[in-house]
Structures are given as C-alpha cells and as structure tokens.
Amino acid sequence: MTSWLGSTDDGTGGSRAVHLPLGREAYQATHERQLRLHALRVQGAIPDTVLSVEHDPVFTIGRRGSRENLLVPPDTLRREGIAVYDVERGGDITYHGPGQVVLYPIIDLRGHGRDLARYVRNLEQTVIDFLAAVEVTAQRRPGLPGVWVGERKIAAVGVHVKRWVTLHGLALNVRVNPEHFAMINPCGLRIEVVSLDDLVLRRYSLDEVVSGLLGAMSPLFGWRIIDQVEAEPLGRRP
C-alpha cells in the first residue's frame, strides 16, 4: 500500500490532501479511477485527493445534457478521434482534450461545511485566483457556470456528489484546439471559448498551470497538498 492511504492529519493539526498527477490519460480510464478513489474516500481510507490530467479528445455529456448540442456527425468524431461519454456530473456537454488542464477533487464535503454551492464557488475561485496571478482578469457570470474572461469562457466546472464525496471538477483551457470546441454548444450554450495562450505573452507549461491551480486551491480548502508520484494502488500502473 502506498504511504498516502490513511490519516488526513498532516501532523501539524492541519488538513492534508494528496495530489495524484496522471499526465495524459484517456477519459474512461480516469473516470474509472475516480470511482474507485471515491469509494475509498467514502470509507475514510484515503485523505482528500486531487487528480490532475490532460485527456485525449473527448466530449462528455452531463445529466442535464443533450446530444442535440453535439453539432457534428459520427463520421467526423471518428476522423478526429473524439470519444463521447454520458456521465453523472451536472451540466450539459463539454470538451476535454490536449492543451487543457483538468482537476478532479475527490473530497469529503463533510469536512468542508456540507455546502455544495460553496464547493462549486471554491472551484471557480481557484481558477480566478490562478489567472489573477498570471495577470488575467477573470470572473463568474450570473446564471452561467464556470469562469469567464469577458464573455468568453476559459474554464468549465461540473461536479457530482454522492454520500458527500465529490467527483468530476474543473477544466481550464491552456491551449486547446478551437476546432474541437466548435463541434459543440459548450454547456448547451452558443458561446465563445478562450485559452490562456490567447491572453498572455508567456507560454505556460501544463505542469506550471497544475502547480498554480493547486497553489490557489490549497488555502481555499485549508489543505497542505502533497504530491504523490508513486503508482496509486487502484489504477495507475508503475
């Protein structure tokens, strides 16, 4: 068993969370991993855990979603190598793919006020605070999910909570393929998306973005985040 299983105490009276960097991985494999880790978190066998990943191209459709917002035929999807999955998170259709950082927090909200609305706000605030650190002004838009730069969407947020433990999370566009986004109405809306690369002169690596997001997330959740580079026992092979 790897060392991160067990107590959530960081030894100083604070709260410890674990970061599992997955690199690039197909959506289905990561989703299956989330479900296994969710079961462990429900049991109290692991601390709060955050997965970071860059996915192969995929469209996911949430519980309130519709394939009517998928604008291209199956032949186009096959040609572009884009998979489609129906998932249990809230929201409509969204895109994940190369050049996008996705964070999946597997956390027990009983330790964070049992407040789903606050949890979603904290995910959005994580992105807003990270972007502020790289001199990009972003904000929420009333009635619309995610994080926006003006009227362009730069990050999506979609979650699912079962037995107070979370699944899914946030996705920040760093340098995504705009042609892939043009194949859908993101979140069921006719909107324009934007990537970080469109807004800054410096080209940030995905690892830098992950580090920045985790740094912004840590104080919002009261965590000390520990990177876990060993293979976790229920998924990633060494």
* Residues catalogued as catalytic: 187
- Distance, CA of 111 to CA of 15 (rounded, Å): 10
Kindly give, in sequence order, each residue whose CB lies less than 8 Å from that of residue 23, ignoring residues fewer than 6 positions away: 53, 54
DSSP-assigned beta bridge partners for residue 94: 60
Instruction: Using the CB atoms, write b or e for 59-84: b if 16+ within 10 Å.
Output: bbbbeebeeebbeeeeeebeeeebbe
Q: Would you give the DSSP letter of residue 197?
A: G
Q: Please state, in angstroms and rounded to a whole number, the distance separating the CA atoms of residues 16 and 12.
A: 10
What is d(CA 54, CA 171) in angstroms, rounded to the nearest whole number?
Answer: 9
Give dist(CA 97, CA 82) in Å, integer: 9
Contact 193, 108 (CB under 8 A): no
